Structure 1
Amino acid sequence: MIKKIFSYFIPIKIYETKSVLSKSIEVTWANGELVLDSENANYSYGSLQRILRLGLKNIGYEKIVAMNHILILGVAGGSVIKTLVEEIKYKGKITGVEIDAEIIKIANAYFKLDQVKNLEIVIDDAFEFVLKTQNKYDLILIDVFQDTTMPNFLFEDFFIKRTCFLLQRKGFILFNTMILNETQNIRNKKYVSEFYNPQFQIKTIPRVEIHNELILIEKLEP
């Protein structure tokens, strides 16, 4: 409790480790809440939770509650899962895909992710999982980072088409991106401008928490 109080004045790191995939994984008290960070980015809770909450609000909580199956690519500490279950009261199935098993251990230990009953965690690469899965989803949330770096496959045509194929009718893709320079800004504009499918509608929610841009794709009525 003392650390929580002092964290309103200065961040207090309580755990630090590294994994095969991450140079640094830190659990910190910041502004009265536990957050999970990499070396240069917020991985869960804190600003990331605010970013993804805004994206979910743009979809509409009432639509989300009525969904049957949600896929999350990039779990980290699971803050968006907590938003879905605790704030939105979503009771359908959640499948979370995370490549770094060490991060899931931390999420279970510090953020009680393993207590979410309607959650299934799969340790796998997001690209590989998307290739293999036979399921269809009402919402696919893409939040895949290695520190501040986004893998190139996320912006490739094949991956875009495959994730769209995995959507149920009237489903959504919520894609969290980071823009730190003009090259990445151009990358996002290219992604949106070249996205064409009469079955889908695409829009952006720019400059969320300064550096993030959300891309929202909706599958329309046939």
Structure 2
Amino acid sequence: MFKKYLSYFLPVNIHKKTSQISKNLEVTWNNGQLVLDSENTNYSYGSLQRILRKGLKYIGYSRIQNFNSVLVLGVAGGSVIKTLVDEVKFTRKITGVEIDKDVVEIANSFFKLDQIENLNIVVDDAFEFVLKTKEKYDLIIIDIFQDTTMPNFLFEDFFIQRVNFLLNVNGFILFNTMVLDYKDRRRNAAYKSRFDEKYSVRMYPKVEVHNELFTIKKLA
């Protein structure tokens, strides 16, 4: 408890891990909250939890409560899963996909994700998972970063079309992106243009300065 109290005055690091995939990972008490950070950005809790909480609020907590299944691509420390369970009160099936087993170990050890009964975590590449899964989902959350970099496949037609196929009618995609420069803004504009009249696409710029959220509803 002393470290938690001290963190209101300065961050207190309690765990460091070097991962082949995520590189440098740190678990830190910051302003009384336990957070997971990579070398240059927040990976879970902290600002990232605020960002995705806003996205869930845009969709609507009461609407999400009536969904049957949620897919989270990019678990990290599991802050959006905690928001779904603790705040949205979502009690049905959550599938989390995380490529980095070291991150999953941290999520279980420090953030107790393995104690969430309606959660199944799959250690797999998100691209590979969406190719293989035979399930469909009412909400698909995409939150995939390698530090401050977003993999190119997230914006390619094949991945977009496959995710759209996995989404049930009247379901939502919540996509968290990072916009650091003009190139990223053009990338996001091109992404938005890939959805036709069968989808309702909303873009929320400058969420926590550098993040831009998409909510995408499948209409038919």
**TM-score where L is the length of structure 1:** 0.97
Q: Distance in 2 between matches of 1:184 and 1:143?
A: 16
The one-letter code matched in structure 1 to 2:68 is N
Q: Equivalents in 2 of 1:28, 1:176: separation in Å?
A: 23
Structure 1 residue ranges, 4+ long, deviating more than 4 angstroms after superposition:
none
Secondary structure of 2:19's partner?
Answer: coil
Counterpart in the other structure of 1:198: 197
| Residue 120 of structure 1: aligned partner | 120
Please give the residue correspondences for 1:49-60 in structure 2 after superposition, counting only pairs within 5 Å.
49-60=49-60
Per the TM alignment, residue 196 of structure 1 is displaced from its structure 2 partner at its CA by 3.0
Consecutive unaligned residues in structure 2, runs of 5 or more: none
**After alignment, is 119-128 or 16-25 more displaced?**
16-25
Aligned length: 220
Deviations for 1:70-126, whole angstroms, at most 9, x for unmatched residues?
A: 000000000000000011110010000000000000111100010000000000000
The AA in structure 2 aligned to 1:130 is: V
The reply to whether residue 86 of structure 1 matches residue 76 of structure 2 is: no
* Distance in 2 of aligned mates of 1:215 and 1:152: 17
Partner of residue 211, structure 2: 212
% same residue: 63
Q: Distance in 1 between matches of 2:44 and 2:169?
A: 30
Give, in whole Å, the separation in 2 of the partners of 1:51 and 1:13: 23
**What whole-Å deviation, never above 9, does each CA across 1:120-173 have from its counterpart, x for those lacking one?**
000000000011110000000000011111000000111111111111110000
Partner of 2:76: 76
Equivalent AA in structure 2 for residue 219 of structure 1: K
Distance 2:195 2:172 in 1: 15
Query: What residue number does 2:188 align with?
Result: 188
Q: Which residue of structure 2 aligns with residue 176 of structure 1?
A: 176
Bigger CA drift: 100-109 or 179-188?
179-188
Aligned to 2:7: 7
The residue type equivalent to 1:60 in the other structure is G
Letter in 1 for 2:147: D
> 1:99-118 alignment to 2 at 5 Å?
99-118=99-118
Match for 2:195: what amino acid? Y
Partner AA of 1:153 in structure 2: F
Paired with 1:181 and 1:72, the residues of 2 have a C-alpha distance of 26
Structure 1 residues 13-67: Cα deviation after superposition (integer angstroms, max 9, x where no partner)? 1100111112201000001100000000100000000000000000000110001
> 2 CA distance for matches of 1:36 and 1:148?
14
SS in 2 for 1:18: strand
Name 1:33's counterpart in structure 2: 33
Instruction: Report SS of the residue matched to 1:24.
Output: strand
Shift of 1:178: 0.3
CA RMSD of aligned residues (A): 0.7
One-letter amino acid of the counterpart of residue 15, structure 1? H
Q: What secondary structure is seen at the aligned counterpart in 1 of 2:40?
A: coil
Counterpart-to-counterpart distance in 2, 1:101 and 1:32: 27
Mapped partners of 2:77, 2:7: distance in 1: 19
| 1:121-160 mapped onto 2 (5 Å cutoff) | 121-160=121-160
User: Does 1:63 find its partner at 2:76?
Assistant: no
